Structure 1
Amino acid sequence: MKMRHVRALAVFGIALVALTGARGSGGGGCDSHSNSGSSSSSSGGGSGSHHDNDDNGTSGGSVSGGSGSANEALRDITIDTCAYDAATKNLTARITVKNDGALDYDYDVTLKFKGTSATPATATTTDIAVAAGASKSADMTTPYPGTGDGSEYTKCEVTRASRS
């Protein structure tokens, strides 16, 4: 074996021991027990939430992933109502955006009307301006894609939200 191979193996061995030792002592590494002082969330868990609306009120769901801006925006939104408006033949929802942050934000929201129909129905609204520490309600509508009475659309779900 040539000297350069011996040196490469020695460096590799030292690096392996150093990394293994560092992970076992709680410093460095990629485990969730590191003491780096960061406030990042654990991976894969439901750190964010979005809201479904059913006939009895609002219930929460989960969003997998980290604590990115989109997940924070989802947590700020609740669905107040979700219904079919026979007068306008539209699916309608009323949402409330609560900004608990220290900054003013503009929110963009996409809402899916869920039902037994195979025809998807979504509504999108943009630029809902909410001051820091305030709440604001917004109505979202989309044309009813069916031919019946709209009763098959019994739930709403915020599928996408962002704030800037």
Structure 2
Amino acid sequence: MKLRHVRAIAVFGLAVFALTGARGSHGASCGGSSHGSGGSSSHSSSGSDGSSTSGSSGSVSGVGGSSRDRAMRDIKIDECALSADGKQLVAKLTFTNSDSSAYLYDATLQFKGAAGKTVDLAIAQVSDLRVEGGASKSTEASTPYTGKGDGSEYTRCEVAFANRTIG
């Protein structure tokens, strides 16, 4: 197995733990409060297929000094939606690094339904996204849409896990 696959499996396991065992501790969803850090310059990159999306937006907030807490605070969810072709659930994200050192960010997102509604597990990941010190970078995380409808059963997305390392 390649190291990237092992890492993806480990991140997925942590995401499941974070979603089930650490409810309420971190992770915000579309519609959450905004984070307090800001960058002075902006960079943009796109992931997946570059298709257009529409939907609600939100951000992530977190406090504390651990790498995971700092990473959670650095991520803002700009939009969560079904891709125009109806094949992908897409989250548009902005990572803002207010520190002076460059970091590599990893994040796992979960697409969720309305409160009390059950939806199929849908998880997307961002791996090794490099953000220079004092900068922001936008990207997308996507996962195949396996539903049979128009994606409206997914009403929000949340960052379930995030981490950053000096890069």
TM-score per shorter chain, which class? 0.5 to 0.7
1:58 to 2:35 alignment:
no
Aligned to 1:125: 126
2-side partners of 1:133 and 1:59: how far apart?
19
Q: CA deviation at 1:61?
A: 6.0
Q: Give the letter for the 1:57 counterpart.
A: S
Q: Give the letter for the 1:53 counterpart.
A: C
Contact conserved, 1:89 with 1:143, CA < 8 A, in 2?
A: yes
Q: CA deviation at 1:161?
A: 0.5
Identity %: 45
Give me the CA root mean square deviation.
2.3
Indicate the SS of the match to 1:91.
Answer: strand
Indicate the SS of the match to 2:129.
Answer: strand
Gaps of 5+ in 1: 1-45
Q: CA deviation at 1:67?
A: 2.8
Gaps of 5+ in 2: 1-23, 32-54
Q: CA deviation at 1:51?
A: 3.0
Q: How does 1:33-48 map to 2 (within 5 A)?
A: none
2-side partners of 1:125 and 1:60: how far apart?
15
Indicate the SS of the match to 2:29.
Answer: strand
Contact conserved, 1:97 with 1:135, CA < 8 A, in 2?
A: yes
Indicate the SS of the match to 1:103.
Answer: coil
Q: CA deviation at 1:122?
A: 0.4
Aligned to 2:96: 98
Number of residue pairs matched by the alignment: 116
Q: CA deviation at 1:74?
A: 0.3
2-side partners of 1:79 and 1:57: how far apart?
6
Contact conserved, 2:90 with 2:141, CA < 8 A, in 1?
A: yes
Change (3 A) 1:60 1:109: closer
2-side partners of 1:131 and 1:157: how far apart?
24
Q: Give the letter for the 1:122 counterpart.
A: I
Q: How does 1:82-161 map to 2 (within 5 A)?
A: 82-115=80-113, 116-161=117-162
Aligned to 2:74: 76
**TM-score (norm. length: structure 2):** 0.62
**TM-score (norm. length: structure 1):** 0.63
2-side partners of 1:102 and 1:62: how far apart?
20
Moved over 2 A (4+): 48-51, 54-57, 59-63
Q: Deviations over 1:60-102 (max 9, x none)?
A: 5667xx5311011000000001001240411001000000012
Change (3 A) 1:150 1:61: same
